[in-house]
Amino acid sequence: VIGHPKYQESKRIAIFLSMPDEIQTEEIIKDIFKQGKECFIPRYKPHSNHMDMLKLSSAEDISSLTLTSWNILQPSDDDSVREEALAGGGLDLIFMPGLGFDKKGNRLGRGKGYYDTYLERCIKHPSGKPYTIALAFREQICESVPAAENDVQVDEILYEDC
Binding residues: 17, 22, 107-115
Query: Which residues pair with residue 17 across a beta bridge?
Result: none
User: How far apart, in whole angstroms, are the C-alpha atoms of residue 140 and residue 60?
Assistant: 30
Rg over CA atoms, the chain = 15
User: How far apart, in whole angstroms, are the C-alpha atoms of residue 45 and residue 83?
Assistant: 16
Residue 103, phi then psi, degrees to nearest 5: -75, -5
Q: Which residues are annotated as a binding site for substrate?
A: 17, 22
Q: What sign does the dihedral 68-59-39-19 (CA atoms) show?
A: negative
Residue 27, phi then psi, degrees to nearest 5: -70, -35
Nearest Cα to Cα of residue 133 among 104, 82, 91, 93: 93
Q: Which residues are annotated as a binding site for ATP?
A: 107-115
